[in-house]
Amino acid sequence: MNSDTVYLLGYKINTFDFDSAVEYANSISGQVVTINPEMMSNPDMKEIVNSAELVIPDGIGVQLGLMICGHNVKRIAGIEFAHKMLSEAEKNRQSVALIGAKPEVIEKAKENLQKEFPNLYITYVQDGYFKDTERVLNDIKIRQPRLVLCALGSPKQEQFIAQAKKLLPDALFIGVGGSFDVWSGIVKRAPKIFQVLCLEWLYRTIKEPQRFKRIFPTLPLFVLRVLKERFVPKGV
Ligand code: UDP
């Protein structure tokens, strides 16, 4: 398997290609983080990311940051990675839990996934607006799924997973952000041309202008911090 572990602004990132990341994920348990510049602008995330078992570079921002630091790494779209892991779970007859998104969204996503993967063994479904975290942790502890996809937005999903992985030492947890919204059919992924040009973020911002404040000033500040780390001697 072809991977290095590199650090960007003190955050660990594994530089697998897509197929190697899938192969590696099949061989481990624990937390998969699909990291983006927003997470790397939240100091509370550092410990969780650096304790995660697999950190994949999702998005053009992280790819650009890595490039500035001399690492030529291809990004892995979290949604595609999670989708592939569902097909692996079906193939390997492993049970799956889906946690997150609005109740009608997660139900529709489950229905669509079940159509796409008829032999997928979905043993637990929970929307993401629960109050009683202990109850949800207990539910998954009883069901013992192998794969848990968790869409609570960041940093909530990463914090939830960091807690849950201690209770299920054999499970693989992936924070999947808005993936259930897409799989439910309620939110459309950016057209292929935006994906190829790495401009999915622009498409989502046009569709949901309230996201603008999540990108600005986070993204330019992230690039400035990376440039500083790369080119300005320490202590200046
Ligand atoms: N979400 C949730 N519980 C919450 C907050 C968010 O289930 O308390 C869900 C939300 O409905 C959406 C997903 O988390 O399905 C991702 O939200 P967002 O688009 O903010 O995530 P991103 O991928 O941009 O971090």
Q: What is the pLDDT of residue 202?
A: 87
The Cβ of residue 199 has, within 10 Å, a number of other Cβ atoms equal to 16
pLDDT by residue for the chain (236 residues), tens digit each? 666 899 999 999 999 999 999 999 999 999 999 999 999 999 999 999 999 999 999 988 999 999 999 999 999 999 999 999 999 999 999 999 999 999 999 999 999 999 999 999 999 999 999 999 999 999 999 999 999 999 999 999 999 999 999 999 999 999 999 999 999 999 988 999 998 888 888 898 888 898 887 778 888 999 999 999 999 887 76
Q: What is the pLDDT of residue 200?
A: 87
Beta bridge partners of 210: none
Does some domain include residue 147? yes
Cα radius of gyration (the chain): 18
* Peptide bond just before 155 cis, omega within 30 deg: yes
Q: What is the pLDDT of residue 112?
A: 98
Q: Output the pTM of the full model.
A: 0.95
Q: What is the pLDDT of residue 236?
A: 67
> Looking at ligand 1, which atom is closest to the CA of residue 176?
23
Does some domain include residue 130? yes
> Looking at ligand 1, which atom is closest to the CA of residue 214?
24
Whether ligand 1 lies within 6 angstroms of the CB of 151 is answered as: yes
Domain of residue 101 covers: 5-184
CATH number of the domain within which 180 lies: 3.40.50.10660
Ligand 1 centroid to residue 70 C-alpha, Å: 33
Shortest CA distance to 86 belongs to which of 128, 126, 123, 120? 120
Whether ligand 1 lies within 6 angstroms of the CB of 46 is answered as: no
Ligand 1 centroid to residue 181 C-alpha, Å: 9
Whether ligand 1 lies within 6 angstroms of the CB of 153 is answered as: yes
Does some domain include residue 143? yes
Does some domain include residue 199? no
Whether ligand 1 lies within 6 angstroms of the CB of 217 is answered as: no
Shortest CA distance to 93 belongs to which of 168, 30, 146? 146
Does some domain include residue 204? no
Q: What is the pLDDT of residue 4?
A: 86
Choose which residue among 98, 108, 181 to substitute to test ligand 1 binding: the one with the highest number of ligand atoms within 8 A of its C-beta.
181
Does some domain include residue 219? no
Whether ligand 1 lies within 6 angstroms of the CB of 78 is answered as: no
Ligand 1 centroid to residue 14 C-alpha, Å: 24
Count how many domains the chain has.
1
Question: Phi/psi class of residue 32: alpha, beta or left (left: φ > 0; alpha: ψ in -120 to 50)?
Answer: beta
Q: What is the pLDDT of residue 62?
A: 95
Does some domain include residue 233? no
